Amino acid sequence: MKKNKIHDPFKKAREHALAVTYIPDYLKDIIVKEPAKKTKKIDPHKKEREQALQSMTLFVPKKTVRKKTKLKTYVITVSKKFLGKHPKSGKPTDFKSKILDGTKVHTIRGNYKYWERIVKNVNAGKGVLSVRQWSGKPYRSKQVEIKRFYELGIQKVTILNNACTVTINEFNEMGFNYRFLDDKKIKKIANNDGLSLEDFVYWFEGVMEDGAILHFTKLRY
């Protein structure tokens, strides 16, 4: 047989009494209270100070890397040997050593306007003149560079009567002027071109009306 549960009318009251903790008055002053949380002080001028500091900070610009512009290379070749009908045909000209030791200070070419444009570009820092020689037969072998020039000079020249008549053509206040050179100056041009006067005469046999003296130095006639 099931046992009948005894009803306890004071059960809830007892449970409530146990849940309530009684603290006497004399203990209230002894209880340690939780420390109050520190409140952050509000700085009304903080933003103004930060802006002032930023304005005082020195501006350091970033380093700009300049791209190196590639210079255009203009090639000119000098003969390794005397050519054609020259009396010394096949013999070495020694132009390479003469350019390197400063004996040959210029070269003479046709087509003045073409070389004038190249000289302007080189002197403007847009190009470089590469003086070369063929290692073997011309146009059938590799080119060997002798020297590079980053500054040039140019004078217009006319060579007539197998180099017996040489004029430097230039503009002046009176207009276009043909300045005839005497024998001493013609010999000097020949020597500065790496040739003897005799070799110079045979080299420029014929007529060159639109010639250009390309100067490797500041020498002018």
Residue 26 has, within 13 A of its CA and on its CB side, a CA count of 0
More confident residue, 191 or 27: 191
Looking at the domain assignment, is residue 21 inside a domain? no
pLDDT at 94 over 80: yes
Could you report the per-residue pLDDT of 117-164, keeping only the tens digit for each?
999 999 999 999 999 999 998 899 999 999 999 999 999 999 998 888
More confident residue, 32 or 212: 212
Quick one: pLDDT at residue 157? 96
Looking at the domain assignment, is residue 125 inside a domain? yes
More confident residue, 86 or 55: 86
Looking at the domain assignment, is residue 66 inside a domain? no
Beta bridge partners of 19: none
Quick one: pLDDT at residue 84? 87
Looking at the domain assignment, is residue 140 inside a domain? yes
Number of Cβ within 10 Å of residue 180's Cβ equals 11
Looking at the domain assignment, is residue 130 inside a domain? yes
Looking at the domain assignment, is residue 185 inside a domain? yes
Looking at the domain assignment, is residue 43 inside a domain? no
How many structural domains are present in the chain? 1
* pLDDT confidence bin for 206, thresholds 50/70/90: confident
Could you report the per-residue pLDDT of 36-81, keeping only the tens digit for each?
566 667 777 777 777 776 666 555 566 666 666 789 999 999 999 9
Looking at the domain assignment, is residue 32 inside a domain? no
The pLDDT of 13-31, averaged and rounded, is 56
For residues 109, 111, 113, 114, the Cα torsion angle rounded to the nearest 10 degrees is: -80
Q: Rounded to an integer, what distance in angstroms lies between the CA atom of residue 108 and that of residue 193?
A: 8
Average pLDDT of the chain to the nearest whole number: 84
What's the Cα-to-Cα distance from 66 to each of 63, 69, 123, 124, 125, rounded to whole Å? 9, 9, 21, 18, 16
Contact 137, 77 (CB under 8 A): no
Range of the domain at 202: 72-215
Could you report the per-residue pLDDT of 159-198, keeping only the tens digit for each?
998 888 999 988 766 666 889 999 999 999 999 999 999 9
| Weakest-pLDDT range from 27-31, 34-38, 93-97, 204-208 | 27-31
